Amino acid sequence: MARFDTSGLDGLIRDMENMGQLSGEVAKVMVEAAAQEIKAAWKESAEDHGLRDTGAMIESIDAPGPVMDFGTALGKDIYPTGKDRKGVRNAEKAFILHYGRNGWQRIAATYWVDDADAISEVRVPPRLDAIWQEFLDTGKVPSLPASGGSAGGITKKTE
């Protein structure tokens, strides 16, 4: 469901390739930072779409496991983990709430993950650029705060 598009980051990626850091520790920190922002965006979008019932699905949104190396790219999965109190997988609920369901128990599609992706497209590039700039300025691999998402938590859009 989730997809992170790197359009607009081509210059940054070229700089990283030139410095031989694309698959290094800085890139892993950048992927973790992106995952934190995307996770926060998923939670914010779910709340904005009114998808909270018990809160089990929203609270279970996570980016478990290590950064994965696909040879030419790094990545990290983000999805609702676990099950609710009735034993229903949270990822299944997220899928149905995103795409909807037909039949006698019709559920309208909300496309909440698409909205989360739109939020992420705004928040992730500046965060990655800041990490890269810190690396260039200090020559050290930056560390991430323990909790993720804009300023360590979910922030609401202000208009």
Residue 10's closest CA among 129, 116, 144? 129
Q: Give 66's DSSP letter.
A: P
**Tens digit of pLDDT for each residue in 64-116?**
999 998 888 889 999 999 998 889 999 999 999 999 999 888 999 999 999 99
Give the orientation angle of helix 112-138 with respect to helix 90-99, to 10 degrees: 110
> What's the whole-number mean pLDDT along residues 149-154?
42
Q: What is the mean pLDDT of the chain?
A: 83
- pTM confidence score: 0.77
* Percent with pLDDT over 70 in the chain: 80
* Contact predicate 23/74, CB 8 Å: yes
Is 80 exceeded by the pLDDT of residue 155?
Answer: no
